[in-house]
Chains A and B, each alone.
Chain A
Amino acid sequence: MSEQLTVPTMAEFMAEGKKPDILFWVGSAGSYDDRAKKITKAFVKILNKANVDFAVLGTEESNTGDVAKRAGNEFLFQMQAVMNIEVLNAYEVKRIVTCDPHSFNCLKNEYPSLGGVFEVIHHTQFIEELISSGRLKVEGDKYKGKRITFHDPCYLGRANSVYEAPRNVLKKTNATLVEMKRHKGSALCCGAGGAQMFKDAEPGNKEINVLRTEDAIETNPEIIATGCPYCNTMMTDGVKFKEKESDIKVLDIAELIADSQDL
């Protein structure tokens, strides 16, 4: 990486007596998972390029508790939520963007009744907003005509009915968007949700991510686009399992946009 990323923290803003326009919730995967960190950085490049006034919580951020809640541990979830809400409210955060649909869903829908009321958007929605307001220009032909299929993350799509933002952003690259036979409301899960990411699957005859990857392969894509770090891992593993990694790349929409602009 040539140029340095600018990633201010809320604490730094506070020290200067300022508040950013938006908080970037990096999430546990985005902070620690090697693959997801690339997505985080790609998104920061976009934020930097569009001169977005943002900050992260850095070491003050903790797991949303989402995965604990889906595993059935309501105690742990609420402990995490109350802790995070205290920090967020202390910084008077109003608007949050995140690359993780699970954090997105949890912050947006499950924090309010515990005292954390924020406007929460997914990074694909934010990128769409940056493009339509003219703050981010997507030009060039790097992805023109490339066959891209978008895998709807359950917690963005079915869970929150966000189907168009990621597709609208993808269209800006002039790529050829091809839909899998099950998409949007009927999209098949990648297999990671509900805490499955952290455990082995129950006995069966196939892995869910392989089944979903087969859906994607049917569209004969060059790229499988994702909007979730967990989906990304599952689809990447699926492509490897099908021995297609030399033909098909699995990329987050943030990575696609950053790369299309050579950021």
Chain B
Amino acid sequence: MEYLPNIIFAIILTIGIGYFANNVKKLFRNIKLGRDVDVSDDKPQRWKNMSMIALGQSKMVKRPIAGFLHVIVYVGFVIINIEVLEIIIDGLFGTHRIFSSIGSLYGVLISAFEILAVLVLVAVIVFWLRRNVIKLKRFLSAEMKGWPKSDGNIILYFEVVLMCLFLVMNATDLQFQAMDSGNVISQFISPWFSGFSESSIHLIERSAWWIHIIGILTFLNYLYFSKHLHILLAFPNTYYGKLTPKGQFENLEAVTKEVKMMMDPNVDPFAAPPEGAEAAIPAKFGASDVQDLSWVNLLNAYTCTECGRCTSECPANQTGKKLSPRKIMMDTRDRLEEVGKNIDANKGEFKDDGKQLLGDYITNEELWACTTCNACVEACPVSIDPLNIIMQMRQYLVMEQSAAPMELNTMMTNIENNGAPWPYNQQDRLNWKNE
């Protein structure tokens, strides 16, 4: 019976991490449903982007208030994890504050954690106020109703509870308080419990300790279902982010092949296609569902934490159009999840459900409102590219469905016929010189 707590701890830990690992596997599988793209180029620049943008939070601080508060929570999260490591070792081996043996440095570390815990609490409260009391516009858009709104708040509640438990755990640890090193904050909380008997205080300490670690494991498993997944995916996402100038849209290779063939006077248009040529032609041009998008697009969707900076910078959104780049990312993730569940339910095979990303989630109206100005791409603190998805879906609309707005069809016909978007004669192209 002596080892019962250790065994229970090991079981809880195994379940917590095991379930999380299972969801990570699902995450990988879903992301890999996307079209393959080569992102193996310029590794040094990619590492640099990741360290600057994700690790260094360089784009977060573009908005100083939210940026500063976020840095606190981020640093708190990263650093307090050292404490989690101690909890895990203690839990598995029945030790108590195993790291305290390192001497005075332990006090310094715990002091830092305690101060961070308080700062995180303050930051999280401000975040909550911004979402629920101040009601910042970007948290109130149409796509933020229901689950996304609750999700945002649940994350904050989780953090409040975890930080409080951490401080209570320290405050009620009489041994730790007696050390009087590292209890910079908890020494002020400790007196709140002075009326309790020693055994009650110990019970509170143990409860806080257990609930804290169970809370952390629960939070870990909550990630997959939440926008909070960004704490992990921001790193790969910034690594795989676009390296070329923002204005450079990739040229579709499949189209290049066809255009080269059309332009080549030596090609016999009636020749039978060579063996294997069928396979080289893609099933469709552009994207109408998540499987047509690249896996980087899908990684983008899982990384999005719905902060709405993209949408608040979008010129179409600011002028009341339906387009919201954040919604494009949220829709992509929702549809991808739906496809993933479909695959789970059908023994690993996707069964056509008569739905797709285009139409059932994202409307033509949203897609045609985009000015391709790259404001959303510039605004994203974790290198998400909503514009890339919008463009692929426009390509599908135009090249597969001929569903461009009428005026655009006129414009394109003009370019085809006379090399200008207006109905002017190509021979008049230099007339300006003499006007």
Contacts and interface: CB of A to CB of B under 8 A. Distances in A.
Given A110-B249, A154-B373, A158-B374, A195 B408 contact: yes
Contact of A208 (B315, B420, B432): B315
A72 B411 contact: no
A210 to B, nearest CB: 8
Interface in A186-218: 186, 188-189, 191-208, 211-212
Interface string A76-112: 1011101100000000000000000000010001100
A67 B421 contact: yes
A62 B412 CA distance: 13
Interface stretch (B149-157, B351-359, B389-397): B389-397
A78 B372 contact: no
A21 B108 CA distance: 67
B420 A28 contact: yes
A32 B374 contact: no
Nearest to B318: A211
A203 B433 contact: no
B318 A199 contact: no
Interface in B415-435: 415-416, 419-422, 424, 426-433, 435
A16 to B, nearest CB: 18
B247 A155 contact: yes
B369 A37 contact: no
A160 interface: yes
A109 B256 contact: no
Interface in A150-164: 154-155, 158-161
A200 B322 CA distance: 15
A105 B251 contact: no
Contacts of B260: 82
A65 B251 CA distance: 12
Contact of A202 (B256, B368, B410): B368
Question: For the side of the interface on B, what is the size category?
Answer: 35 or more
Contacts of A211: 315, 318-319
A82 B431 CA distance: 25
B373 A193 contact: yes
B365 A159 contact: no
A57 B123 CA distance: 60
Greatest chain A CB density within 10 A among B248, B318, B415 is at: B415
A186 B313 contact: yes
Greatest chain B CB density within 10 A among A160, A189, A193, A205 is at: A189
A185 interface: yes
B245 interface: yes
Contacts of B372: 70, 154, 193-194
B18 interface: no
A234 to B, nearest CB: 10
A150 to B, nearest CB: 16
Given A7-B430, A74-B252, A78-B251, A202 B394 contact: no
A56 interface: yes
B337 interface: no
Greatest chain A CB density within 10 A among B255, B286, B316, B419 is at: B419
B21 to A, nearest CB: 40
Interface string B186-204: 0000000000000000000
Contact of B398 (A71, A158, A193): A71
Contacts of B58: none
A260 interface: no
A75 B399 contact: yes
Nearest to A207: B319
A58 B411 contact: no
A67 B374 contact: no
Nearest to B364: A202
B244 interface: yes
Contact of B407 (A69, A189, A198, A202): A198
Interface in B22-60: none
B423 to A, nearest CB: 10
A73 interface: yes
A75 B320 contact: no
A31 interface: yes
Given A59-B427, A189-B371, 15 more contacts: A32-B429, A72-B391, A72-B397, A72-B404, A75-B255, A78-B255, A113-B251, A154-B372, A158-B246, A198-B410, A199-B407, A199-B408, A201-B319, A202-B322, A204-B319
Interface of A: 5, 7, 9, 26, 28, 30-33, 37, 40-41, 44, 56, 58-59, 61-63, 65, 67-76, 78-80, 82-83, 105, 109-110, 113-114, 154-155, 158-161, 185-186, 188-189, 191-208, 211-212
24 contacts: A28-B420, A32-B422, A32-B432, A33-B422, A56-B430, A67-B421, A69-B249, A73-B398, A74-B252, A74-B286, A79-B416, A109-B244, A110-B249, A158-B373, A158-B378, A159-B245, A186-B378, A195-B411, A198-B410, A199-B405, A199-B411, A204-B369, A205-B320, A208-B319
7 tightest A-B CB contacts, nearest first: A159-B247, A72-B394, A194-B372, A205-B320, A62-B419, A204-B320, A189-B373
